[in-house]
Amino acid sequence: MEQYKQEFIEFMVDCEVLRFGDFVTKSGRKTPFFINTGFYRTGAQLKKLGEYYAKAIETAFGTDFDVLFGPAYKGIPLSVAAAIALDENYGASIRYCSNRKEEKDHGDKGILLGGPVGDGDRVVIIEDVTTAGTSIRETVPLLKAQGDIKLAGLVVSVDRMERGTGTVSALEEIRTTYDLPVTSIVTMAEVVEHLYNRPYKGKVLIDDSIKEAIDRYYEQYGA
């Protein structure tokens, strides 16, 4: 596993974004692990997060695209932080863009904020975590309504590796449905590989009992 992936897993733990125990996801699934990107709360954390996203984007898609689109609300700071990191680390001048939940009818009018999206633009979508793919199913029509755009990729922080509406993973469904390349900074398999029975700062986060719970979860919901 690449060094930056190991560092990102530990970064999530340090920020309390990645936790283990008993939780319920938005889709109603009981899960032994939870990822809440709302716990990235400081400027330093967002700067570092943007750098990890930029690394994953550059590795998977390169930097030959025009717009980095972050769906409201969590995608707004992600698109800004990653766009800054793409400029600083790779010299790529990428427009950031997000949507409003309600269209604005005065001043900076419209449904979008940030850089414009239009004909010929190549767009990479940036998300926090995709479980069922609901947000993307709302985002793609919104983007295509802006003009003849090309969907150049989707990046998420963690691939939960769960089934979507069918038998394959939510990310795989998105890839095939929208002909959209997808990537993640890390997968849950990589998280387990890095943390299982391995102390981090004096504590084993995935011991045998947590590992067993994760295995049971994937027996039920895994792709």
Q: Which residues belong to the active site?
A: 104, 106
> Is 42 exposed, middle or buried, given 0-12, 13-18 or 19+ CB atoms closer than 10 A?
exposed
Q: How far apart are CA 81 and CA 112, in angstroms?
A: 18
> Is 54 exposed, middle or buried, given 0-12, 13-18 or 19+ CB atoms closer than 10 A?
buried
Q: How far apart are CA 182 and CA 175, in angstroms?
A: 6
User: Which ranges of the chain would DSSP assign to H, the alpha helix?
Assistant: 3-14, 43-61, 75-90, 134-144, 170-178, 188-195, 208-221
Asked whether 65 and 153 are in contact (CB, 8 A), the reply is yes
